[in-house]
Every structure is written in C-alpha cells, then in structure tokens.
Amino acid sequence: RRGRALGVILFILQVLCGCIPVVTFLLVRYLDAVDSPELSAALWIHAFVCCLGALVILLQPCENGDKLRHATGSSWTAKLLRWLFWVTVLAVKWLVGLGSIAATQQAITDLRTSQPGREALNELPQVAFGPNWDKDMVEWL
C-alpha cells in the first residue's frame, strides 16, 4: 500500500515537472504578444528549463533496463569521446537549422508576404480577407 502511494506521488511529480516547459513557453508567447520588456528574462528561463529537462532525459538511467543483457562498462575516455561526438553533431545540426530558418525568414520579409500570427490584432479586421492577405494565407497552406 505504501509503495503504491509513493508511485502515485512520483507520477504526479513527473507530470508536474513535465508541465513546467509548457508553462514557460506559454509565458513567453504571452509576453511576446503584449510586447513586455520581461520577454528576454522569460526566454532565458524557458531555455534553462528546457535544457535542464533534456539533461535529465539524457542522464537519468532507465529504471527498467534491458532484461536480457547487462550494460558493459566503458572507459571515461570512450564516454567523453562519444559525448563530444554527439554534442558536435547536434551543434552543427542546430546551426544549420538556425541558418535555414534565418534565410527563410529573410526571404519571406523580402517577398513582403503576410505571416500568419504576426499581424497586429487591431489591424487584422482591415486586412483580413483582402486579396493580398488571402493569397498569402493560401501560399502558407
């Protein structure tokens, strides 16, 4: 009975910890929508929470493990090289993605197309369903 209660408490704690990045993301989106000066701090908090969650996922050992085979040991040098390799691969992948997003954003700006979710809410009724706005929304779809 005590073990089951502890399991339920741990499950609730995991769910709550899993919701923290969602809450910080919603905070960032809200502060962005109202043009708050605290947006920068919220972005840093969100990035920290997400990185902390990624580290927990990567470093936390699996609770069940493999039933057929036990993990073999490896030297610290091999582990360090493995981590360095994957950090390098993921960093290059992130930089390429960031460059492609920046290039796409620049192309969209140069084409002067409407961007969904980037129009001011008070201007939306005047531009919505106009010929240019309709054309741009169809292109986004």
Please state the pTM of the whole predicted model: 0.51
pLDDT at 42 (0 to 100): 93
The 3-class SS string of the chain reads: CHHHHHHHHHHHHHHHHHHHHHHHHHHHHHHHHCCCCCHHHHHHHHHHHHHHHHHHHHHCCCCCCCCCCCCCCCCHHHHHHHHHHHHHHHHHHHHHHHHHHHHHHHHHHHHCCCCCCCCCCCCHHHHCCCHHHHHHHHHHC
The per-residue pLDDT string of the chain (141 residues; one tens digit each, 9 = 90 and over) reads 667 777 788 888 888 888 999 999 999 989 988 888 998 999 999 999 998 888 887 777 665 665 666 667 778 888 889 889 989 999 999 999 999 999 988 988 888 777 777 777 777 777 777 777 777 777 776
